[in-house]
Amino acid sequence: MEMTYIKAINSALMEEMRRDENVFMMGEDVGELGGAFKATEGLLEAFGEERVIDTPISEALIVGAGIGAAVLGMRPIVEMQFADFISCAFDQIVNMAATTRYRHGGRAECPLVVRAPSGAGIHGALFHSQNPEAWFTRVPGLKVVAPATVYDAKGLLKAAIRDNNPVIYFEHKRLYRSIKEDLPDADFTVPIGAAEIRKEGTDLSLITYGGTLGQSLDAAKIVEKEDGLAVEVLDLRTLLPLDRDAILATARKTGKVLVVHEDRLTGGIGGEVAAIISEHAFEFLDGPVRRLCALDTHVAFSPPLEEAILPNTNKIVDAIRSLAAY
């Protein structure tokens, strides 16, 4: 069945709530409105107000209540209406959810999913465009995923809901209705912690995730057609834990690596990927590991300024050609 990225999210929520009565949804406007982006449309009618709960505008309360429910055996899915405001729940996620299992010597679990609509390219300006994944990718006890395809949007969300650890699920807003895919009717999940090769290549490796996967694949096709370069594209899919084996395998295969992500350059997950390669595959490299990311600035409201700040296909093409010529 063909569906969009956001329909895949909705479908995953529907299926998991039908499968397990302990799964419930909580967040701002997730019930009566069906979510700001309609990701939770139809859930209230299907499952009632005891399992689809509209909350006050308080991210700390939403996540805190979710943690309490998770510890008591429920499987809450909580929505941050925009990922930018996940910072309001930072203490609950980092100091409470992430440490629950460790603090209780493995005798307590926190099966909590935090859905976080993230990303720019929609002219959302300062508070509706951020990619805050790197805040969480250094926190033991958390899992962090960022699906870039319709299949992964559904499969990773279902896997996250079934996981017994807190999972932050970053869904890119620009992808909601811009990509479609035929999905199987049968139940499926996508394993957390496993990257995926989206395009085979031998000349250069492009490592990416989330909103920049489509741009990266477009760029790879352009340089293959115009320059004869065979670029391998690796989609990380999971940012914590990183698939180190896949990262090192593609680096050793091609000898040149470009890391692309929409998060800012400084402190982004691309720096960790580059460090892994530099430490464990240095002798295979034929050039420096390079990064193409958003500029170290806030996302502008002005469309031309937003475009200047963010990665795009043309910028990726230029970066590939520069590294290939090194």
- Residues marked active site are found at 128
5-19 helix and 150-162 helix, angle to the nearest 10 degrees: 30
> What does residue 306 show for φ and ψ, rounded to 5 degrees?
-60, -45
- What is the torsional sign of CA 172, 181, 43, 142? negative
Task: Tell me which amino acid residue 20 is.
Answer: D
Asked if residues 10 and 157 have their Cβ atoms less than 8 Å apart, the reply is no
Of 121, 110, 223, 248, the C-alpha closest to 168 is: 110
Length of the chain: 326
Asked if residues 112 and 76 have their Cβ atoms less than 8 Å apart, the reply is yes
313-324 helix and 213-227 helix, angle to the nearest 10 degrees: 50
